[in-house]
Structure 1
Amino acid sequence: MHRTDRFLISQKPYAVDLGSLQTARKERQDGSSFYFGRINAVWFRRKQGANVACIGSLWGFQDDLPATGTDFLTAHTDGTYGGDCTGRWDGSSYWGNVTLDTQEEHLEILRPMLDAYPALPDGYSGWWTFQTPKGAGA
């Protein structure tokens, strides 16, 4: 992934909580190992012509154990599946299959996030994108 200070919704950027990285060592059938990583993220998207705020995580598999959230993101190159969305706020309704307590936690982040669109939410690093940002070398 690439980090950029410039928000462009067309680049499908994510803001992440760098301190939330979780990793687990996994074994392949040949005895070698790899690491599964997951990091909390929030992002904006357009749905039916309106901006929405999403919350969930980014995940991926890596051969080397990432020491930090930044290490995980810079080595994370497969954006095929995008973010794993667990909650979404469109300004009037919430979508997500989580407990009511979790919905309330999500809305504490998503409501002000959508109100301040396209500002980076407090406590999150951004913007991170799988696409090469405009003006950056390939």
Structure 2
Amino acid sequence: MIREDRFLISRKPYAIDLDSLQVGARTKSGHYWAMVNAVWFRRHSKGYGDDRRIITVACIGTLRNLQDDKPADARGFLAAYTDGRYGGDCQGRWDGENYWGAQKPEVIEEHLAILRSMLANYPAIPEGYDGWWTFQPAR
């Protein structure tokens, strides 16, 4: 992944919690599953027909990847993570009106505390996250 200083939603950037790296045990194939917590904004279509409109949503979840070498830290993980075709694993999404995601009330509350603030302060990076990271090469 590539870190950029400015936010462009068209480049599908992520803000990363650099302290959240989790690395699994070595797999039988000799690789390591690793993941970090992330938040991001995306555009979604809402409504149908004449009521259809494009809205911005705030998402929370993880970025995970199978890595050849065990990453020492989140920056090392991100540097080796070059294939973003699947994007992040969204665990919660807020569109300013509706929440989609977790079912446990305490997790919903945690998600909404971050997601509401994100959408209200769009496109600011939430506290505790580093951004913006993208899979797209510099133009």
TM-score, structure 2 as length reference: 0.91
Corresponding residue for residue 51 of structure 1:
56
Question: What SS does the corresponding residue of 1:53 show, helix, strand or coil?
Answer: strand
Residues 44-84 of structure 1: CA distance to partner in whole angstroms, max 9, x if unpaired? 00011100000000000111111110100011011111000
Corresponding residue for residue 119 of structure 1:
124
Q: Is the 8 A contact 1:44 1:52 kept in 2?
A: yes
In 1, Cα distance between equivalents of 2:43 and 2:93: 11
Question: What SS does the corresponding residue of 2:19 show, helix, strand or coil?
Answer: helix
Q: 2:86 aligns with which of 58, 81, 90?
A: 81
Q: Is the 8 A contact 1:55 1:86 kept in 2?
A: yes
Runs of 4+ in 1 over 2 A off after TM superposition: 25-28
Give the counterpart letter for 2:11 in structure 1: Q
How many percent of aligned residue pairs carry the same amino acid?
Answer: 59
Aligned residues: 131
Offset, 1:26: 2.8
Counterpart check, 1:97 vs 2:94: no
In 2, Cα distance between equivalents of 1:45 and 1:121: 15
Corresponding residue for residue 39 of structure 2:
42
Residues 113-135 of structure 1: CA distance to partner in whole angstroms, max 9, x if unpaired? 1000011111100000000133x
Gaps of 5+ in 2: 46-53
Counterpart check, 1:23 vs 2:23: yes
Gaps of 5+ in 1: none
Alpha-carbon RMSD across the aligned residues, in angstroms, is: 1.0
Corresponding residue for residue 11 of structure 2:
11
Q: Is the 8 A contact 1:35 1:62 kept in 2?
A: yes
Q: Is the 8 A contact 1:79 1:130 kept in 2?
A: yes
Give the counterpart letter for 1:11 in structure 2: R
